[in-house]
Amino acid sequence: MAHNINFNENSDKHSFFSVKEKAWHGLGQVVDQYPTSQEAIVHAGLDYRVEKAKLFTEGLHENEEQNMPAISVPGYFATMRTDNNAILGVVGKDYQIVQNRDAFTFFDSIVGGDGIMYETAGALGKGERIFITAKLPGYIKVGNDDLIEKYLFLTTSHDGSGSITAAFTPVRIVCANTLNAAMKNMTNVVKIRHTSNAAERLRTAHKVMGIASRYSEEIGATFNRWTKKPITDPQLKRLIEIAMAPNKEVLGNLKDGKVNALSTQFVNIVEDVYEYALSNPTQQLPTTMGTVFGAYNAVTGYFQNVRKFQDDEAKLKSIVLGGTAQLRTQAAFNLCADVARDGAAALNLN
C-alpha cells in the first residue's frame, strides 16, 4: 500500500513506530513495549530539529555567463532539518517553529507523564508533518460488555501548511472502530496557530484538552442513552441517507422523495453503510442491534472498515483531520442526538 512515510537515509529506517501491532489508522512499525516520550521520539525518527534559514534567489543578468550575487528574500525563510539539511517549506517572519519534542511535551503535560501510552508516531514526506497517537488511561463503558478506549491524536507541520491540531478520539476495542465523536455544542479538536506563542500554547493546550476526561464521561453517558433508544430498519436507512448526504441539493431531493435524482454513487454508499449496519458482527451486540448507537456506529464503522482510501495517510486525514469521514460522522452524531431526543420526527427533514 502506498504511503508518504519519511525514509531517513541517515538511519536507513522509515520514521514511524507502533506498539505491539499496527495502530488503528494502519500506520506503524511495531515495538514491544510502550515507550517514554524520549524513547518514542527516537523510535519514530523524530529526534531532529528544525530551524528557519534565510532564503536567497539567484540574480538575473542579461549576460548569463556573468555571476550575480545571491539576493536575500526579505520576510521569508526556509524551514530546514538540521540533521540532513532537507528543506521542508517556506514560511513568513512571524512563523514560530514548534519542535517535535514540544509536541510530546503536550501529551506528557496532560497526565504529568504518568499513564500516557504512546501508541504510534511518525513523520510524513521529508519530515514536514508529524503525527502522534497516545492512549489515555481508562475506558468508556457502553452497556455491559462494550468498551471504548480513549486516544489523543496530534499532528503538526514544519512547512507552514496548517495549524497544530490535537483531537480526542474514542476507539472501540471490539473492532478498532474509530468513533471520532464530538458533542454537538463542544469540539474535541484543538487547533493552535504557528505564532510566536505557539510553543507556549502547545504546553498549555492540555488545559483546553481537559475536556478529554469530562468529554469521555459525557460521551459515555450519551452512548449509553442511545443504546436504550430503538430504531426501526426504515428509520435506520433514512438516518444513513441524511447523514451521508454530501450537500443541500441531495438533502432536498431526499426531502422531496426524488429518488431518481440521486446519483448512483450516493445510492451505493448508502447501501454499503446500511448493509454494514445489518450484517457486521459488531452490529449484532446488544448495544448496537436495532439501536440509535448502532446507527451511529454503522456510519463510523463504514469509514473505518469498509470505505476504500487511496492509502493509510488519506484514511487518517479523512477520519481525523477534518476530511469527509469526519464531516459525515459528525453529521451522524448530531442526527442520532436528535433522534434520541425527538424520535422519528427528527428524520422528516422539515
Q: Could you tell me what percent of the chain has a pLDDT over 90?
A: 16
Is 15 part of a structural domain of the chain? yes
pLDDT of the residue at 184 = 66
256 and 328 inside one domain: yes
- Domain termination site, one of 152, 180, 209: 209
Would the pLDDT of 238 be above 70? Answer: yes
Is 124 part of a structural domain of the chain? yes
User: Over the stretch 87-117, which tens digit does the pLDDT of each residue have?
Assistant: 999 999 888 888 998 888 777 776 665 667 8
40 and 151 inside one domain: yes
247 and 338 inside one domain: yes
pLDDT of the residue at 272 = 93
pLDDT of the residue at 67 = 63
- Which band of pLDDT confidence, cut at 50, 70 and 90, is reported for residue 186? low
156 and 240 inside one domain: no
User: Over the stretch 244-294, which tens digit does the pLDDT of each residue have?
Assistant: 888 888 888 888 888 888 888 989 999 999 999 988 887 788 888 889 999
Would the pLDDT of 63 be above 60? Answer: no
199 and 299 inside one domain: no
Is 160 part of a structural domain of the chain? yes
User: Over the stretch 127-152, which tens digit does the pLDDT of each residue have?
Assistant: 898 888 888 878 888 888 788 888 88
> For 335-342, what is the mean pLDDT?
90
Is 78 part of a structural domain of the chain? no
Is 63 part of a structural domain of the chain? no
Q: What would the grid cell of residue 91 be?
A: 514560511
* Lowest-confidence segment of 54-58, 197-201, 327-331 by average pLDDT: 197-201
Would the pLDDT of 17 be above 70? Answer: no
259 and 324 inside one domain: yes
Is 68 part of a structural domain of the chain? no
272 and 155 inside one domain: no
* Lowest-confidence segment of 18-32, 34-48, 229-243 by average pLDDT: 18-32
Is 196 part of a structural domain of the chain? yes
Domain of residue 119 covers 7-48+97-209
- Domain termination site, one of 155, 182, 209: 209
Is 76 part of a structural domain of the chain? no
DSSP string covering 95-137 = -----HHHHHHHHHHHTTTSS-EEEEEEEETTTTEEEEEEEEE
| Among 331, 281, 2, 324, residue whose Cα is nearest residue 146 | 281
pLDDT of the residue at 1 = 34
CB 146 within 8 A of CB 257: no
242 and 341 inside one domain: yes
Q: For the chain, what is the domain count? A: 2
Point out which residues pair with 51 in neighbouring strands.
80
279 and 242 inside one domain: yes
- Domain termination site, one of 182, 209, 236: 209
194 and 306 inside one domain: no
DSSP string covering 27-77 = ---EESSPPPHHHHHHHTT----EEEEEEEE----SSTTS----EEEEEEE
